[in-house]
Structure 1
Amino acid sequence: MEHIREITLQLLDAEKSCRPIQPITSRYGGLHVEDAYQIQLQILDVKLQSGRVVIGKKVGLTSKAMQTMLGVNEPDYGHLLDDMVVQNNGTVEVSSLLSPKVEAEIGFVLKSDLVGPNVNYLDVLLATDYVVPTIEIIDSRIADWKIKLEDTVADNGSSALVVVGDHKTSIAGLDLRTVGMALFQNDIEVGNGAGAAALGHPAHAIAWLANKLHEFGISLKAGELILPGALSGAVAVKQGDAVTARFETMGSVSVTFV
């Protein structure tokens, strides 16, 4: 337990100071993914005690390419807190982050709880109030993004901020697998994809999350925003960049880095 406490404090300090730490996995032999989730939950507990509020969850590593790169066969997750939300067309100070990247995702807002362990994608659809266009701003408190699964899990799934679009879309009659997205950086298209990029259907990713969280005594709550995974590859951003994700039938969401 001592090394879990040490890593918790290191990651909290790295986020606060904007000074990255060396990979956890290179310094703590035998660290298991279960340990990494405990670190994530300890960091969460510190933030909750300081007054932060959980407003949702995020799923990461939903693409086969990313899973292969990290040598895993399932996604991971992190928590979204109230101070992580950026309004549509808002600005983000680059100096507050270490090495930011952006990903476009279909955000789900729930109207009822989802409690594992036997949640399926139909349960997710029935529990969904509406979907919104989102840009997740990911960041790594690990130097140079030299991460393995345990590194990113401990580091809240490498999550930093989420930009939430204004347009709320009912999923009635909407095939989320085929909803297309184009990602633009300074008016140049830098990525595109569709809902199927997230485990074949984004609701599958959320069902996985509900069932995984059951292992830790956590459930998905009505009103929470759930990010099911990126529709295209992560794109690095810098000061002066303007990023927009345009979703078929769902509207768009934008953010500028200053």
Structure 2
Amino acid sequence: MAEIEKATKLLLDARRSRKPAVTGDVVLKSEKDAYRVQEAVFAQLWPGAKPAAWKAGGPSDKVEPTAAPIPAENLLRSPASVAAASMNLLGVEAEIGFRLARDLPPRAKPYSERAIVAAVGEVLVAIELCDTRLADWKATSGLWKLADFQNNGALIVGSGTKEWQKIDFLQQEVEFRIGDRARKAKGAHSFGNPFRLVPWLVAHAARHGMGLHAGDIVTTGAWTGLEIAKAGDVVTARFPGIGEATVRIL
């Protein structure tokens, strides 16, 4: 418990002071520890609040995904503007999110995939802003990054479509522009169909005593990898047939 409390304090202090945390000899030993820190930080920063969105993802479908909550204040509508000075890491990712149209309260019996499909109201384009509260985020353990909300800074929510079940995600194209750079890909999601992460996330939230609510968004990870933006960049993610999202870095 002492390590959980120390880690929580380090991350809270880093967020409040805007000075990255040096983890030192504080060690997180398991994903369970990391999620306990997540929950403690969220509860203290946003007392009584529920996540407005979640991020879920992983490098491939061969490993267990990870998740992190996103508070309402970090959910921004496209086109958005974000100050470079407000972030330690100006990472950006082109993503697909799923917005729920109905509640999925926590329960012991897992929801069927059919029930979760029925609960999804639309698919939308999102840009995740990736940030860190860790002084040496590249060298820090994956468990610390997970505790730090898996590097989430904010989520920019763009346009989408309710006809999401007609999308062939294995053939879906994406164009991601970061200033004067462009990245293009096709069928590039690490899980093939990003919807596969939604049932996992619903079960994850239930294990932690939380449900999902109508309007909540589950964003599902990068299609072209992590890109680093800079002040002055306009960042646009476009998924043909689905929609687009834009954020300007001030």
Instruction: State the Cα distance separating 1:7 from its structure 2 match.
Output: 1.3
TM-score by length of 1: 0.86
Segments of structure 1 that go 5 or more residues without pairing to the other structure are none
1:161 is aligned to 2:175: no
Name the CA distance, whole Å, in 1 between partners of 2:236 and 2:177: 5
The CA deviation string for residues 58-84 of structure 1, in whole angstroms up to 9 with x for no partner, is: 113x223xx9xxxx9211111111110
Instruction: State the Cα distance separating 1:155 from its structure 2 match.
Output: 0.5
Q: Among residues 75, 84, 100, which one is paired with 1:94 in the alignment?
A: 84
Instruction: State the Cα distance separating 1:178 from its structure 2 match.
Output: 2.8
Worse-matched range after superposition: 93-102 or 11-20: 11-20
Q: From the superposition, tell whether residues 30 and 227 of structure 1 become closer, same or farther in structure 2 (CA, over 3 Å).
A: closer
Instruction: State the Cα distance separating 1:139 from its structure 2 match.
Output: 0.9
What residue identity is the alignment partner of 2:20?
P
Q: From the superposition, tell whether residues 245 and 132 of structure 1 become closer, same or farther in structure 2 (CA, over 3 Å).
A: same
What residue identity is the alignment partner of 1:6?
K
1:106 corresponds in structure 2 to 96
- What RMSD, in angstroms, separates the aligned Cα atoms of the two structures? 2.2
1:127 is aligned to 2:119: yes
1:47 corresponds in structure 2 to 45
Q: Among residues 12, 27, 30, which one is paired with 2:25 in the alignment?
A: 27
Name the CA distance, whole Å, in 1 between partners of 2:112 and 2:196: 7
1:207 is aligned to 2:203: no
Q: How many residues are paired up? A: 247
Instruction: State the Cα distance separating 1:240 from its structure 2 match.
Output: 1.1
Instruction: State the Cα distance separating 1:43 from its structure 2 match.
Output: 0.7
More helix by share: 1
Q: From the superposition, tell whether residues 122 and 103 of structure 1 become closer, same or farther in structure 2 (CA, over 3 Å).
A: farther
Instruction: State the Cα distance separating 1:239 from its structure 2 match.
Output: 1.0
Name the CA distance, whole Å, in 2 between partners of 1:16 and 1:177: 42
Q: Percent identity?
A: 27
Name the CA distance, whole Å, in 2 between partners of 1:180 and 1:113: 30
The CA deviation string for residues 143-184 of structure 1, in whole angstroms up to 9 with x for no partner, is: 232232211121012111011113444224222343221111
Name the CA distance, whole Å, in 2 between partners of 1:125 and 1:176: 15
Q: Does the 8 A contact of 2:3 with 2:27 survive in 1?
A: no
1:247 corresponds in structure 2 to 239
1:217 is aligned to 2:184: no
What residue identity is the alignment partner of 2:18?
C
Segments of structure 2 that go 5 or more residues without pairing to the other structure are none
TM-score by length of 2: 0.89
Name the CA distance, whole Å, in 1 between partners of 2:113 and 2:95: 17
